[in-house]
Amino acid sequence: MSCCGSGAELAALAAPDPREVLLVSRAIAGGLRQTDLSVPDVHCGACIRTVEKALGALDGVTWARVNLSTKRVTIKWRADRVPPPFVETLGNVGYEAHLFDVDGDAKDTTLSELIRALAVSGFAASNIMLLSVSVWSGAEPATRDLFHGISALIALPTLIYSGRVFFRSAWQALRHGRTNMDVPISLGVLLAFGMSLYETAIHGPHAYFDASVTLLFFLLIGRTLDHMMRERARVAVRGLARLAARGALVLQNDGAQTYLPVGEITPGMTIMLAAGERVPVDSQVAKGLSELDVSLVTGESVPQPALPGSVLRAGTLNLTGPLTITATASANDSFLAEMLRMMEAAEQGRSVYRRIADRAAGLYAPVVHLTAAITLVGWLIVSGDVHRAITIAVAVLIITCPCALGLAVPMVQVVAARRLFECGIMIKDGGALERLAEVDTVVFDKTGTLTLGNPRVIDAEKIDSATLTLAGAIAVHSRHPYSCALAAAVRAQAPIALDDVSEHPGCGMEARLGGSVLRLGRPEWALADTRGMDLDGSSVVLSRDGRCLADFRFEDRLRAGAAETVDALKRDGLAVEVVSGDREMPVRALASGMGVPYFAGVLPGGKAAHVVELAAAGKKVLMVGDGLNDTPALMAAHASMAPASAADVGRNAADLVFLREDLSAVSQAIVVSREAGHLVRQNLALAVGYNLVAVPIAIMGHVTPLVAAIAMSGSSIVVVANALRLRGRGKLDKPQDASASTPRMSVRMEPAE
């Protein structure tokens, strides 16, 4: 909606204390902090440019981006400075702003106002049109003047009530020395009404009360549809917000339990999580056994076990038993908050198409005003008829409204982001859709991307239960993947009293039991004598005083849909490679089975260098990876994807994040991005074609203000309807359950990645 009140008033009333701004902002990389503001008055490309330009000019601000769907502006500023006066600055350019807070249950007052205004204008337009029909049918002058007077009485309050949606915005823009799309709209409506009022006063034969009110009606239809479309994009964000716990029971140092709001929970706090409660922030299990519904993270419906040491994501549901957990992140830095930010950022990217549309919309107001002025002067010279010249100029003002152009790109990006979200794929930047559609090479990481990255003990049921239990008792003290696999293999672990448990990085775990020394780790370290041992096949051994008690081997499994996805990408003409930091043998086994080239033992810098080399060769690379060592390559690639299980840094670096285990998300995202690109180009062509056809016709005087209103609104509706086609183009394949017939790849696991 639009602003109300002067900039000085807004700045004085709404400005928060700098300490409050500092409190709600969060630290990000590069010595910066990020602050989010709600700016409810932005509604068009001109508003976006004004807000971003005003904030970008502040000392210390390095980046400002408006999200039109959520009416939110994200600002990055230098952490070593005092918080800049964000709210005061926006108030000075005519935009009310306040600190952003996600409220999933907030009532949509904007939609209510639009619907009321639409209803009033529709009722008035229908009644005025009935009176106009009587005039057109040949009413006597006295009757005609009476009907014109009644139409004026209906139109005036309608314009005051329903037109304020546009008038307020136009007035605020003009008083701050700028223009927006609502300025020529308001000018056209008021000119049509004023001209009609003059004709009525002098008993003229023509009046256009029907055109002014019907124009409002059609404009409000377009504005309401636009708002509802964006509201549909916000539904997913609000749905996620509802998954966030409002607070949690925190264990204090003195043993007391205190319920704290989720915003007050800090890393290191101990939380008592009852069965049936959602995890409030990213945490780690300290004590207790339970099962979790992690469908939010992985998309899988099968409950996952929660054991001491298990990592929990915010928003997941504790199902069966109470847990004592330790917070590892604050609410703003947790997984659920990150998902919210990614969904809200889907429209923030300044893509190539978006920049084209924004530049065109930026030229709109002066070009339209100049065109209308030239039309007015031209018709005055040609015909000498003031009434006709003004009528044609008003029609030009109305018909050239760039609503269709302004909706051409964001509507497609919003629909595409929603479609991807429904398939478990989060997009962080609308511009990523364009880059993804252009890729011709896909580079996959191995561990955690093509494979699950969760080793399992081979034939655990054939291992002596006492030995397996002993190994599990040692392994539970480590977070190494092999230790986790051993601990998970022990179903009913009897307590074993171990002494002096310690971990030797790169070697394994050591403990004492009675007078014996137990070691669980590499054979070269755990055994006194490795002669006769098959070191290539033995990943981990359990030894007592240097003698081997058990030899454990591990397997990794291909991620569900990995082989099918690689085949689909190759069929579509994309080059596929595997670049991994793992050892030669497992990488070769995987890549040869898929029929793709591979590079093994690659360090993080080498991965990024390889992506840069491909780019230098003219390739547009999609990098798919999950680990910290993939982050440089993700940032260097033309486009990037990561699974939700990826490291935090990897998820932040990626353009898209897929929540489900199935790797088919990669090919699905490429399909949607290419479809979205086609629709964007179609929308831009429709918007430009409309103006190329409609404007000359209006200038030549063949369009009345009423017809101009219908044509302008019709073009916007066509663009929105075309964008909605993206949701109806077939259904993306549903991810398969990873537990069902997933191809296995039994290899020696190495901790290289």
CA distance 428 to 451: 24
Q: How is the beta sheet containing 456-457 ordered, strand by strand?
A: 456-457, 554-557, 744-745
Q: Which of 210, 282, 358, 445 is catalytic?
A: 445
**Residue 303, CA atoms < 13 Å, CB-side half-sphere:** 12
CA distance 115 to 399: 23
Instruction: At 247, list the tokens.
Output: 């607070």
Place of tokens 């004598």: 529
Task: Give the closest residue to 63 by CA, choosing from 22, 21, 32.
Answer: 32
- DSSP states of 216-260 as a string? HHHHHHHHHHHHHHHHHHHHHHHHHHHTS-SEEEEE-TTS-EEEE
Rg (CA), the chain: 32
Q: What CA–CA distances, in Å, run from 265 to 238, 268, 276, 325, 626?
A: 22, 9, 20, 12, 28
Q: What are phi and psi of 329, to 5 degrees?
A: -155, 160
CA distance 145 to 123: 22
Q: What is the DSSP letter of 700?
A: T
Place of tokens 């993700």: 634
Instruction: At 118, list the tokens.
Output: 């639409």
- DSSP states of 332-383 as a string? GGSHHHHHHHHHHGGGT---HHHHHHHHHHHHHHHHHHHHHHHHHHHHHHHH
Alpha helices per DSSP H over 163-208: 164-175, 182-201
Element (H, E) at 138: none
Q: Which amino acid is residue 193, in one-letter code?
A: F
CA distance 596 to 578: 7
- DSSP states of 144-170 as a string? HHHHHHHHHHHHHHHHHHHTHHHHHHH
Place of tokens 């019907």: 214
Confirm if 723 and 679 have CB atoms less than 8 A apart: yes
Confirm if 161 and 113 have CB atoms less than 8 A apart: no
Q: What SS3 class is residue 427? A: strand
Q: Which amino acid is residue 224, in one-letter code?
A: T
> What spatial distance separates the first Cα and last Cα of the chain, rounded to whole Å?
50
Instruction: At 722, list the tokens.
Output: 């075309």
CA distance 186 to 706: 15
Element (H, E) at 530: none
* 445 labelled catalytic: yes
The residues carrying an active-site annotation are 445
